Amino acid sequence: MTTGPVGVGIIGAGNISDEYLTNLTSYPDVTVIGIADIDLARAAAQADKYGLDFSGSPGELLALQTVELIVNLTIPAVHAEVSLAAVRAGKHVWAEKPIALDRESARQLLDEATSAGVVVGNAPDTVLGSGIQNSHRLIGEGKIGTPQTVLTLMQGPGPDSWHPRPQFLFARGAGPLFDIGPYYFTTLTMLLGEIESVQALGHRAYEEREIGSGPDAGTRFPVEIWTHMSVLTRFASGVVGTSIYSFDSPVRRQLFEVTGSGGTLTVPVSGFDGPSSFLAAAADEGDWVDLPAQGRERSRGVGVLEMARATRSGRSPRASGELAFHVLDAMLAVEESIEAGSPVLVTSSLTGVAPLDAEWDPQERTL
C-alpha cells in the first residue's frame, strides 16, 4: 500500500487557486506536484509563485505518475469533463462545486470512477470547517432534540455591481441556486440527511443587468436564470425546510436555523470557523447562547485533505461524490419544480456521514 503524503495536481489556475495553493502547500499530508490550465502562462505563473516543480497542459499533468489526486478548479461548465478526464487517467479527483450541471454527466463520472477504482469528492468545503462540523456534532448529540424544521435565507443584490465579468453568474450553471446554493444544500443534507422532495417558485426582478465595475462597466447583459427562488424542502426524516436564494434584494442576509423539539441552533453556513448559537425551546429570545467552534482553524483545501486521508485508509471521503450528486439532484429538482408548478421528487439516495472530530487537525502529519 502507498504511504506518505498524497501527490496532488491542480487543474485550473484562476482566482481561487491562490487560496488552495496557499493552504495545500502547508498541509504535511499532501504534496502539490504541479498545476495545469488551458492558459499555460497562468499555470506557469502560479507554479512559479508557489515553487511547484511542474506546470503545463491538463493532459501533461494527468500523465505524471506522481500525481494521485487531481484538484479541479475550473469553471462549472467544464467541471464534469475535466473530472472525467482525471478519472480516465486513473486519478482520484476533488472538484469545486457543482459536480456537474446535469445528472447524466455526474452519474457517468461516478460510475466510471467506481469502475476505475478511484474516488470522487466534491463540495464547497466550508461544510468541513470547524463551524459547520460543530453544528453537525451538536445536532448529533441531541442538543436541539429531534430536528423538525429548518429555515435558510441567502439574499443580496447579486454580484453584477462588483464583478468585472458577471455575465456567467447570471447564466445557466450559476445564479443564486447553482453558485451559492451548493453551500446551503450540502450543509442541509450533511446535517439533516436525504432530501425527499422540493417545491419552488422562481422570480426574476430584471431581464437585463449592468456591469458595475471594470473596463466594461455600464454594459448591459441578459439575465438567463431565476434570480429569486422560494424553496420548500421535505427531508426523508420528516424535517421540513423553507429557503430563499436571491440576488434580487438590497438586503444582505445569510441565515441558517435548525429547530428541533429542544430548541433552535444557528449554523455558520458562510464561512469555515464561525460559532453556532443555541436558543432552548423554553427560553426567552434574549437567552441565545454562543457555542464556539473548537479545534484548529480550517480553510479552503480541507476537503482535498480529508479526501486524501480517507482514500489512503480505504474509506469514503465525507464530502463524497454521492453527496454532491444528491445536492445536484435537489438543485435541478428546484428548477424543474419552478417550471412544472408542482413538487418534484428527489430520487437519489444518501448515506449519512459522521462529523469530524473537533481535534481533526489539517496541520498534523498522519500519512
Ligand X SMILES: NC(=O)c1ccc[n+]([C@@H]2O[C@H](COP(=O)([O-])OP(=O)(O)OC[C@H]3O[C@@H](n4cnc5c(N)ncnc54)[C@H](O)[C@@H]3O)[C@@H](O)[C@H]2O)c1
Residues interacting with ligand X, by CB under 6 A?
A: 11-17, 37-39, 42, 58, 73-76, 78, 82, 96
Given its phi and psi angles, is residue 228 left (phi above 0), alpha (psi -120 to 50 degrees) or beta?
Answer: beta
Q: Which grid cell is 194?
A: 436525504
Cβ closest to ligand X, residue 16 vs residue 217: 16
Report the nearest approach of ligand X to the CB of residue 224 (Å).
17
Q: Which amino acid is at 340?
A: A
77 or 201, CB closer to ligand X?
A: 77
Give 145's contacts (C-beta < 8 A, 6+ positions apart): 260, 261, 262, 263, 281
CB of 19 or CB of 297, closer to ligand X: 19
Shortest spacing between CB 32 and ligand X, in angstroms: 16
Least distance CB 355 / ligand X (angstroms): 22
User: Which class for 208: exposed (0-12), middle (13-18), buried (19 or more C-beta within 10 A)?
Assistant: exposed
260/317 with CB nearer ligand X: 317
Neighbours of 152 (CB within 10 A): 24
CB–CB of 265/134 below 8 Å?
no
Taking the C-alpha atoms of residue 260 and residue 192, their distance in angstroms, rounded to an integer, is 11
* 8 A C-beta contact, residue 206 and residue 223: yes
- Measure CA 331 to chain center: 13
Q: Under a CB-based contact definition with an 8 Å cutoff, are residues 248 and 158 in contact?
A: yes
CB of 337 to ligand X, least distance (A): 24
**CB nearest ligand X: which residue?**
14
CB of 75 to ligand X, least distance (A): 5
Least Å distance between CB 19 and ligand X?
8
> 265 and 274 in contact (C-beta within 8 Å)?
no
> By the 8 A CB rule, do 200 and 230 touch?
yes
Rank residues 43 and 265 by Cβ distance to ligand X and give the closer one.
43
Residues 230, 360: Cα–Cα separation, whole Å: 36
CB of 77 to ligand X, least distance (A): 8
Radius of gyration of the chain (CA): 20
Q: Shortest approach of ligand X to residue 101 CB, angstroms?
A: 11
Of the pair 126, 243, the CB lying nearest ligand X is at: 126
Residue closer to ligand X (CB basis): 38 or 151 = 38
Smaller CB separation from ligand X, 76 or 158: 76
Report the C-alpha gap between 238 and 145 in whole angstroms. Answer: 14
- The minimum distance between CB 178 and ligand X, in angstroms, equals 9
Question: How far is residue 300's CA from residue 290's CA, in Å, rounded to a whole number?
Answer: 24
For ligand X, which is the closer residue by CB, 14 or 222? 14
Strand 195-203 vs strand 228-235: parallel, antiparallel, or unpaired?
A: antiparallel
